[in-house]
Amino acid sequence: MIKINPLLCDLCGTCLSVCPADCMSLDENRLYIDNDACTHCELCIGVCPFGALSSGNEKEQANEK
């Protein structure tokens, strides 16, 4: 699951342009992700210039270490 930090997201839409599943949408107030349609490729995380997107698996990975 891709997580959005609304405090960091400036609604630029860069993530929408790389999403192969077309599962992201944007309005004037926030970014939305349809996690059922998301393929978890994480391309959006890599292109976000503000670091507003992250993988929902980060906490699980930290616990495994």
User: Tell me, what CATH number does 11's domain have?
Assistant: 3.30.70.20
Count of domains in the chain? 1
Domain containing 14 equals 2-60
Contact 42, 55 (CB under 8 A): yes
pLDDT at 64 over 90: no
pTM of the entire predicted model: 0.80
Three-state secondary-structure class, residue 31: strand
In a domain, 65, yes or no: no
Q: Can you tell me the distance from the alpha carbon of 45 to that of 51, in angstroms, rounded to the nearest whole number?
A: 7
Q: What is the DSSP letter of 15?
A: H
| Residue 31 β-bridge partners | 26
Three-state secondary-structure class, residue 2: strand
pLDDT at 61 over 50: no
Mean pLDDT, the chain, integer: 89
In a domain, 44, yes or no: yes
Q: Average of pLDDT values for 43-62?
A: 82
In a domain, 25, yes or no: yes
